[in-house]
Structure 1
Amino acid sequence: MLGSKKTKLSANGSDNVETLIGRQVVIQGDLLFSGGLYIEGKVLGKVVAEEGADSLLTLAQGGVIEGSISAPKAVISGRLTGDIHSCERIELTETAHIQGNIHYRLIEITAGATVSGQLIHQQPAE
């Protein structure tokens, strides 16, 4: 349930959710967002944060994304089939299942998370 379990990212004050995709929702196509996006449903396409926005993507435990993700910050608890790109921080909880490469600057992986792909560290932009 939304807000029932605080994550380390949300503890930094970045827990404002402007957009919620509920459990019964299936989106076919690419999704461009800014701010907080919380996905409990299914997205079949790319999920991309608006350039320069302080955005946080949260993929809930039952949520599914079949496509790539590009967001400054992401908390993954659901299933992702595709690559993820983050210029700031990624957090994988114990229920995260990722099939794809993870491009990250900072990453936290909780025991139980599964990743079938490469972890690729990105250097900070100078």
Structure 2
Amino acid sequence: MFGKKAQPPIKSLIAQGTRIEGNMKFTEGLRVDGEVYGDIQAVFEEAGSLLVISEASVVQGAIQADHVIINGTVRGPVHARELLELQPKAKIEGDVSYVALEMHQGATISGQLKPLVAGGAAGEDEKPLLKLAAKSA
């Protein structure tokens, strides 16, 4: 389901040591290694969007993108229109909505989990995809 489409390239970087205050929008791919105090929103495109929040980063605001990978701290709601990957050091303080969720051991969420229906059609009996990642040796 999600392996068919190639991930968009990461074309923008907020480097470690950088602090941005204010809302931002991006297309294709964005990697955050620094701090963002404001909302981060991917502009809807047919090619999709990828947002990576790395281990040392802090985001205080709402996040919205197709594919979201988190290994840092997010204080605010997270909306993944396709796949949300929570790596071992992910810490989310806010509600999370997703179509598919992959959560590694050690990741934490302080908020509600709200599964979305793929394709946006409400009222279907389709269950959201949930994948638990096993601890690697």
Q: TM-score, normalised by structure 1?
A: 0.87
Residues 1:62 and 2:73 are matched in the alignment: no
Partner residue of 1:82 out of 68, 73, 76: 76
Residues 1:32 and 2:25 are matched in the alignment: yes
Partner residue of 1:52 out of 45, 58, 75: 45
User: Runs of 5+ in structure 2 lacking a partner?
Assistant: 122-137
The sequence identity of aligned pairs, in percent, is 32
User: Runs of 5+ in structure 1 lacking a partner?
Assistant: 1-8
- 1:15 Cα shift? 6.0
Aligned length: 117
> Deviation per CA, 1:34-64, whole angstroms, max 9, x where unpaired?
1110000000000000023511000000011
Helix, strand or coil at the partner of 1:48: strand
The structure with more strand, counted as a fraction of residues:
2
- 1:87 Cα shift? 1.3
- 1:25 Cα shift? 0.6
Give the aligned CA root-mean-square deviation in angstroms: 1.7
Counterpart in 2 of 1:96? 90
Tell me, in whole angstroms, the C-alpha distance in 2 between the residues paired with 1:20 and 1:14: 16
Tell me, in whole angstroms, the C-alpha distance in 1 between the residues paired with 2:49 and 2:11: 10
Question: Match of 2:40, as an amino acid?
Answer: V
Partner residue of 1:42 out of 35, 47, 53: 35
Partner residue of 1:16 out of 9, 12, 18: 9
Question: Match of 2:33, as an amino acid?
Answer: E
Tell me, in whole angstroms, the C-alpha distance in 1 between the residues paired with 2:113 and 2:104: 15
Structure 1 residue ranges (4+ consecutive) displaced by more than 3 angstroms after TM superposition: none
Tell me, in whole angstroms, the C-alpha distance in 2 between the residues paired with 1:59 and 1:70: 12
- 1:17 Cα shift? 1.3
Q: TM-score, normalised by structure 2?
A: 0.80
Helix, strand or coil at the partner of 1:87: strand
